[in-house]
């Protein structure tokens, strides 16, 4: 069995993780942006490793994220207790209907819209990163950029601490392969009205490098 597989969306995130690693058994791979490409690419990496007789022992979705104000501040490290497909469902006159409530068989959903983190893997990372914020991380296909949509996400997911774009896809791929999964994020911006000038990517990537030694 090989070591840990850490997947990020973009090369800058992968470089930040590698900069903090000394464990050569950890594989870090940038796989693309969004839940679809993240799920497909992770599934391929897991399948190739299994076919070679060297399956990965766990998968981590890592990178930067937006944080909900009052729950995760810029520069914070977040450990996802679950990865939630926050915009997977249907609109209706009465509001958003989550895919779990549409009557579709769970087997077709990869486990539903909520993919819990592996308890053991989460506990190990919490022990290694005691100052990290923990809570659900939302996966979205469109980054939240208005006050109204932020308020709606808060209403529907009152415990969520952050949003990103890949975690749910990676979680589904890991679940299908029977491999433990967890999501690790560092906060680059507050969730809300889009303001790129308020994003602090350098600080978030630096925090990702600081957190990386926990991925042993």
pLDDT tens series, the chain, 216 aa: 469 999 999 999 999 999 999 878 899 999 999 999 999 999 999 999 999 999 999 999 999 999 999 999 999 999 999 999 988 777 778 777 777 777 776 555 556 789 999 999 999 999 999 999 999 999 999 899 899 989 989 999 999 999 999 999 999 999 999 999 999 999 999 998 887 777 898 999 999 999 999 998
Helix (H, G, I), strand (E, B) or coil at 114: strand
Both tokens assigned to 118: 């592996």
What's the half-sphere exposure (Cβ side, CA atoms, 13 Å) at 177?
A: 28
Q: Are 182 and 118 in contact (CB under 8 A)?
A: yes
Q: pTM for the complete prediction?
A: 0.91
Q: Are 57 and 177 in contact (CB under 8 A)?
A: no
Q: Are strands 181-190 and 58-67 parallel, antiparallel or unpaired?
A: parallel
Both tokens assigned to 182: 């967890």
Q: Are strands 4-8 and 27-30 parallel, antiparallel or unpaired?
A: parallel
Residue 177 CB neighbour total at 10 angstroms: 18
Report the pLDDT value the prediction gives residue 11, as an integer from 0 to 100: 97
- Place domain 4-214 in its CATH homologous superfamily: Nucleoside phosphorylase domain (3.40.50.1580)
């Amino acid at each position: 069995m090989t070591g840990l597989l850490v997947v990020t969306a973009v090369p800058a995130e992968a470089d930040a993780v590698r900069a903090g690693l000394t464990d050569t058994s950890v594989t870090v791979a940038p796989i693309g942006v969004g839940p679809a490409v993240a799920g497909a690419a992770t599934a391929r990496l897991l399948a190739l490793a299994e076919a070679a007789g060297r399956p990965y022992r766990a998968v981590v979705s890592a990178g930067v994220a937006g944080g909900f104000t009052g729950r995760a501040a810029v520069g914070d490290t977040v450990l996802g207790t679950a990865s939630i497909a926050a915009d997977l469902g249907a609109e209706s006159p009465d509001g958003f209907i989550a895919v779990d409530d549409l009557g579709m068989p769970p087997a077709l959903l990869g486990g539903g819209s909520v993919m819990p983190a592996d308890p053991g893997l989460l506990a190990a990372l919490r022990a290694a990163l005691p100052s990290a914020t923990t809570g659900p991380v939302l996966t979205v296909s469109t980054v939240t950029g208005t006050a109204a949509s932020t308020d709606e996400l808060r209403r529907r997911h009152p415990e969520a601490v952050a949003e990103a774009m890949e975690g749910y896809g990676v979680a589904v791929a890991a679940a299908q392969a029977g491999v433990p999964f967890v999501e690790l994020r560092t906060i680059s911006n507050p969730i809300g009205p889009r303001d790129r000038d308020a994003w602090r990517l350098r600080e978030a990537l630096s925090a990702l490098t600081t957190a990386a030694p926990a991925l042993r």
